[in-house]
Amino acid sequence: MARRKMSTFERLQRLQKGQLSRKQRKQLEREFRAEDPAWEIVHPHAAGIDVGSASHFVAVAPGKDPQPVREFGSWTAALQEMVTWLKGCGIQTVVLQSTGVYWVALYDQLEKAGFDVWLVNARGTKNLPGRKSDVQECQWLRKLHTYGLLRHSFRPPTEIRAVRAIWRLRERHIGDAGRSVQHMQKALITMNVQLAQALSDISGVSGQAIIRAILGGERDPWKLAQLRDKRVQASAAEVAHSLYGNWREETLFELRQAVEAYDFAHQQITECDQQLQRYMATLPTREAAAGVPPTTESVAAAAGKDHPIPVGKPKRKAAKNQPAFNLDSEVQRVLGVDLTRIDGINIMTAQVICAELGPDLSCFPSEGHFASWLTLAPRREISGGKVIRQEPGHAKNRVANALRMAAESLWNSDSYLGARYRHFRARLGGKKAVKAMARYLACLIYRMLTKGQGWVDRGAAHFENNRKERELMRLKQKASALGLQLIPAPSA
């Protein structure tokens, strides 16, 4: 793969790391701190904003206003005053850092006013020392943006942001419900009621029926055991023996509080499902690429022999904590493709992708850029055409976490992707294999969303046959280089 040419911005990153000579560092700092470093101006009408919780510092070019740096409050009236001042200065594009959630209201006001707003990661702007105040920070952002040295962060459209907000809120409620279940189990164990030893999940039908009967005043273990569901593998005697305990009043009160918190969390989840269904219904229906359903031949030609089209969709068991409405059809309608065709990708993972990214991935030039944004690609430092350092990304990304979980679920899968994941584990080890497989899943998703390609598994045997062919080809090349020839062993 061709090496990417180092940009001016990346060269400036080397200043703190001592990879340039002292003379070069001084020259670059002198050029960049000058008002006119003789570089190409990409955004002549730019402004930089240092975002804070109580106030924002805004910087424009010195020729735009007698006071090029001003401070504005974070309340709405002050933000509108900032918009008026920026328009009076002839500003067209504004750059700001994604600081906490303080930037959200400011971003909305600037976007509504018609500015070209650039949201950048603070990691890409802290590269030279000496900027210790908010005034210097906003001037630094403005200068970097003027010469085109910043990269725009990805932000989905407005309608996708609404779905994303509800979906993230729903995940928090699910976490609250899980903590309430742990609280119930702790209260039961405190009373030496070992219900969790007989039932694998006390939040199920049987567990909740028994716990609520206990709170209703029932203490007879055999009567409580009769409340178990017929599908429970534990016998009635086993369940009854686990229900003997010391019924302490303060612990029963604690158990009641945990059950009420559990019920409240599920009530909140139900309301989120209703709101999510309304937002999903407003999203437009996306057709397949070019408006034509993909065929096996077209996908095989575009994506390679390992990416054929499925013939039939197998029935899948509903995922745990799945919304009550028909999420499968809604996600497929919005995305235009069925991501659950990919082994390891269930409907909840597909919904995370839909809520966090939306159907349009055109802002990512290639699947490599998409994987890098997901922090599933290593960060490489190249000098003299050689990789001198390679570090894993540490940023948190919800889509990447979902793909890692999908990759781990392929361990026992008798499929092409399962065989590929096991091959990765044998070569790279567990942690690297999960990341490599998650990156491969991200590439498949990118192809499906951008090209309308489908996916079906060809089986683990197909991957093993391809792997053996590649190994045999490498052995023949090594033998040929040594002046030898491989001779097949006689068959039994």
End of a domain among 282, 306, 330? Answer: 282
Asked whether residue 55 is assigned to any structural domain, the reply reads yes
Residue 412 is assigned to a structural domain of this protein? yes
Per-residue pLDDT, 191:
93
221: helix, strand or coil: helix
Tell me how far apart the alpha carbons of residues 303 and 444 are, in angstroms, rounded to a whole number: 9
| Average pLDDT over every residue of 131-135 | 60
Residue at a domain's end among 112, 146, 180: 146
- Residue 431, both tokens: 């942690």
210 has a pLDDT exceeding 60: yes
Say if residue 233 is in the same domain as residue 305: no
pLDDT (0 to 100) of residue 300: 38
Instruction: Look at residues 211, 201, 446 and name the one whose alpha carbon lies nearest to residue 321.
Output: 201
- Tell me: do 216 and 354 sit in the same domain: no
Cα–Cα distance measured from residue 387 to residue 469, given in angstroms and rounded to the nearest whole number: 30
Q: And the tokens for 52?
A: 């804070």
Q: What pLDDT score was predicted for residue 428? A: 87
Residue listed under structure tokens 């991935």? 361
Question: Cβ neighbours of residue 11 under 8 Å, at least 6 residues apart?
Answer: 20, 28
Q: What would the pLDDT profile of 464-491 be if each residue is shown by its tens digit?
A: 788 888 888 888 888 888 888 888 887 7
- Check whether residue 248 and residue 361 sit in a common domain: no
- Average pLDDT, whole number, for the chain? 82
User: Does 3 map to a domain?
Assistant: no
C-alpha angle 372/375/381, rounded to 5°?
Answer: 65
The domain total for the chain is: 3
Given 282, 303, 329, which residue is the final one in a domain? 282
| SS3 assignment, position 310 | coil
Does 405 share its domain with 425? yes
Partners of 117 in the beta sheet? 94
Q: How far, in Å, CA of 343 to CA of 452, rounded?
A: 17
Least confident segment among 176-185, 291-300, 430-439, 474-483: 291-300
Asked whether residue 388 is domain-assigned, the answer is yes
Place of tokens 């933000």: 79
Contacts of 225 (CB under 8 A, 6+ apart): 210, 236, 237, 239, 240, 243
Residue-range definition of the domain harbouring residue 242: 159-282
CA 54 to chain centre: 30
Same domain membership, residue 246 and residue 188: yes
Is residue 1, in this structure, part of any structural domain at all? no
Task: State whether 250 and 169 are in the same domain.
Answer: yes
* The pLDDT of residue 126: 64
Asked if 259 and 348 sit in the same domain, the reply is no
Given a contact cutoff of 8 angstroms between Cβ atoms, the answer to whether 400 and 376 are in contact is yes
pLDDT for the residue numbered 262: 96
Within-domain flag for 406? yes
Res 142 pLDDT > 60:
yes
* Single pTM value for the model: 0.78
Do 464 and 345 share a structural domain? yes
Query: What is the average pLDDT across 45-64?
Result: 90
Together in a domain, 110 and 202:
no
Any idea what the CATH number is for the domain that residue 29 is in? 3.30.420
Identify which of 117-126, 260-269, 368-377, 414-423 has the greatest average pLDDT.
260-269
Least confident window among 30-39, 111-120, 272-281, 287-296: 287-296
Both 365 and 407 in a single domain?
yes
* 480 lies in some domain: no
pLDDT at 164 over 90: yes
DSSP state of 234: S
Select the highest-mean-pLDDT range: 61-65, 188-192, 298-302, 411-415.
188-192
For residues 165 and 142, membership in a common domain is answered with no
What are 384-409's pLDDT values in tens digits?
Answer: 677 777 776 667 889 999 999 999 99
pLDDT single digits (tens) 8-49: 445 434 533 444 456 655 665 555 555 555 567 888 899 999
Domain shared by 328 and 436, yes or no: yes
pLDDT at residue 306 above 70? no
- CB count within 10 Å of CB 331 equals 23
In a domain, 233, yes or no: yes
> In whole angstroms, how far apart are CA 311 and each of 296, 363, 457, 463?
9, 31, 10, 20
Per-residue confidence (pLDDT) for residue 302, from 0 to 100: 38
Q: What share of the chain is helix, strand, coil (3-state, %, to 5)?
A: 55, 5, 40
Residue that the structure tokens 């030496």 belong to: 192
Structure tokens at 172: 């928090």
